[in-house]
Amino acid sequence: MSFYPEVLFILGVSAILFHLQLDISSVLPQNVDFLLQGKDWSQHFLGWHFYRSTPWSFPLGDFTGLLYPSPTNVGYTDSIPLLAIPLKVIAPFVGTFQYIGAWVFGSIFLQGLVGFFLLYQMKLSRVYSLVGAVFLQLSPVLFERFDHPALTAHWIILLAFWVYLQNKYTVRGILFSGFTMVLVSWIHPYLTVMVFPILCAYALRAPGWKSKIALCIMLVVLVVISWYAIGYFTPYATSNMPGLGHYTAHWSTFFYSPESRLLYRVPHQAVQGFEGSSFMGLGAVLGIVGILVANLGKERVIILRKQLKDHWILLLFIGLMSLFAMTRYPVFDFIKTSEIPGALLAHKLFTTFRATGRFIWILHYGILIAFLITLGKRVSKKVGVGIVSVLCVITIVDAPSIFGARHNDLKLEPQVGSQYYENIRSVVSDGQYTHMIFYPSAPNKRTFFEDDDYVPFAYIAAENEMGINIGYLARVYDKIFKDFDAALTKQIRAGELNDNYVYIIPKTHKQEVEKYLENSSAGRELLQLNDNFWYIP
């Protein structure tokens, strides 16, 4: 059976939605300018830009150079190991390129495609499944993650539900379960933790406890092997950010959005709530309330009770993860300081997941999928298509800013060829330097940078395969960096400069460094780079 019309339709909708957000030109590999705006996008791109020229090693994702000498990993720069590692093979043969734009576009497309096949698998009509797929593409929570490209892969959550909702427990289902587990492990740890309980619930459908346990162990082994190969189990895998549960979800997260014209007054979590945002859209909220009211009859309650019994394991897993997502920071702080046996170990184990609010997404998509399936089976095809279409329109009209014109805030004109970049490039153009070293040194980019002004320096350093000791990483090997900082300070003050380093000095420390140079026999001089920085060639 051919699905070309549906695939082409979903592709067209994806192109429109992507263009409204980022401009379709962002898909082009050679367009890196929109990724040099600072914030998280720059971290993700620069992680790849440094990694691509690093010699191969094991674990596969390890590299140094960005925030030298702290080692890091493309997984910890959210540079999507699934693409970064294989693309490194071709990187030496092509110029500078990016894949983040294509990834985000692909996430929108796959959200619709997987959603379509999930609904069609439930014996719903092709037209209804197609409209339902667009409904899933319009999930506001997906568009709210555009600042974290790896986390736009919400389609992998839908894929896990697709595996779970297969009618029978089959070899094909087992293979798809393992494939999905490996795939998500190479995308992002947060998504891996969300997908695991869904696939585990499918594994527990196996006949016999030995099979159930063996298949759950298989899922764990696939994750461990994948994460070990990428390089997540390393000494620097500790966060220097606020602790576990710092960013949580709120009970009203499905109903509140500041962009909603009708629901912006809903009580919400005002502090650190953005990571736990899971707004469903006004259309989804109205549809879900409507289907709940329609199922109040005694007969429908009996059917609902049977469905809950059939899926109680999945519902238990989703419920526990949702409770974890809404657990407040003080609770985890208490666990950290308590004397309960194993409490400190548990706290350390989960410290990586400080944005626990994100885990509410599996409940979000579980509710949306249940709504679409229930509606599609309760009404005729024409009525179902009409209702879902109207709900899509309501969602867009209620919060149009969620879906449009994000690229208006971007500087899409060429930046890498601007005078600011050329000034930095001219200093290192002869290729004699191996490192671009800032003094004073600090792992936090905001020590003496305005916002994300470090980006041009880091981009040029990566372009010339140089290490740079400033930038932004979520996880820094503190001891290595502190030792390097102490040694650098001592060398600068003694005028003992490395001939392979070009030193960058902010204007706030110009006079201090001039004094050190005057009192040394280094024979190096301080030259002006621009209004804010000086350098020692």
pLDDT at residue 338 tops 60: yes
- pLDDT of 94-119, one tens digit each? 989 999 999 999 999 999 999 999 99
pLDDT at residue 445 tops 90: no
Contacts of 154 (CB under 8 A, 6+ apart): 107, 111, 139, 141, 142, 145, 361, 365
In the structure, what pLDDT confidence band is assigned to residue 443 with cuts at 50, 70 and 90?
A: low
Mean pLDDT of 398-406: 81
DSSP 66: B
Return the pLDDT at 451: 56
Separation of alpha carbons 146 and 40, rounded Å:
10
Return the pLDDT at 467: 92
Q: In this predicted structure, which of 68-77, 179-188, 228-237, 268-277 has the lowest mean pLDDT?
A: 268-277
> What is 450-489 written as a DSSP string?
STTTHHHHHHHHHHTT-EES----SS--HHHHHHHHHHHH
In the structure, what pLDDT confidence band is assigned to residue 251 with cuts at 50, 70 and 90?
A: confident
Specify whether the CB–CB gap between 279 and 257 falls below 8 A.
Answer: yes
Q: What is the mean pLDDT of the chain?
A: 87
Token digits of residue 134: 């667009």
pLDDT at residue 4 tops 80: yes
Return the pLDDT at 182: 98
Q: How many CB atoms lie within 10 A of CB 342?
A: 9
Separation of alpha carbons 16 and 11, rounded Å:
9
- Measured CA to CA in angstroms, residue 49 lies from 14, 36, 65, 153 at distances of 27, 12, 10, 21
pLDDT at residue 30 tops 80: yes
- pLDDT of 122-177, one tens digit each? 999 999 999 999 999 999 999 988 888 999 999 999 999 999 998 777 888 899 99
- pLDDT of 449-477, one tens digit each? 555 678 889 999 999 999 998 887 777 77
Percent of the chain with pLDDT over 70: 89
The H or E element spanning position 386 is: helix 381-398
Specify whether the CB–CB gap between 442 and 240 falls below 8 A.
Answer: no
Separation of alpha carbons 360 and 323, rounded Å:
8
Diameter over CA atoms, the chain: 91
Return the pLDDT at 159: 98
CA dihedral (253, 259, 263, 264) positive or negative:
positive
Contacts of 91 (CB under 8 A, 6+ apart): 52, 53
pLDDT at residue 319 tops 70: yes
Q: Are strands 527-528 and 467-468 parallel, antiparallel or unpaired?
A: unpaired
Return the pLDDT at 20: 87
HSE, side-chain direction, 13 A CA sphere, residue 266: 21
In the structure, what pLDDT confidence band is assigned to residue 55 with cuts at 50, 70 and 90?
A: very high
What residues pair up with 467 in beta bridges, in sequence order? 435
Q: How many CB atoms lie within 10 A of CB 512?
A: 13
In the structure, what pLDDT confidence band is assigned to residue 272 with cuts at 50, 70 and 90?
A: low
In the structure, what pLDDT confidence band is assigned to residue 441 with cuts at 50, 70 and 90?
A: confident
Q: Which amino acid is at 295?
A: N
> Which one, of 291, 2, 288, lies nearest residue 126 by Cα?
2
Cis peptide before 140 (omega within 30 of 0): no
Specify whether the CB–CB gap between 534 and 508 falls below 8 A.
Answer: no
- pLDDT of 481-508, one tens digit each? 888 888 888 888 888 888 899 999 888 8
- pLDDT of 207-243, one tens digit each? 888 989 999 999 999 999 999 999 988 776 655 455 6
pLDDT at residue 39 tops 90: no
Mean pLDDT of 360-389: 95
> Which one, of 486, 506, 472, lies nearest residue 67 by Cα?
472
Return the pLDDT at 397: 95
The H or E element spanning position 438 is: strand 435-438
Per the model's pLDDT, the better-predicted residue between 344 and 65 turns out to be 65
Specify whether the CB–CB gap between 305 and 294 falls below 8 A.
Answer: no
Specify whether the CB–CB gap between 348 and 236 falls below 8 A.
Answer: no
> Which one, of 500, 491, 499, lies nearest residue 434 by Cα?
500
Return the pLDDT at 295: 75
| Maximum mean pLDDT: which of 299-303, 376-380, 476-480 | 376-380
HSE, side-chain direction, 13 A CA sphere, residue 184: 29
State whether residue 534 is helix, strand or coil: strand
- Which segments of 138-188 does DSSP mark as H helices, in order? 140-143, 155-164, 171-185
Check residue 23 and give left, alpha or beta (phi > 0: left; psi -120 to 50: alpha). Answer: left
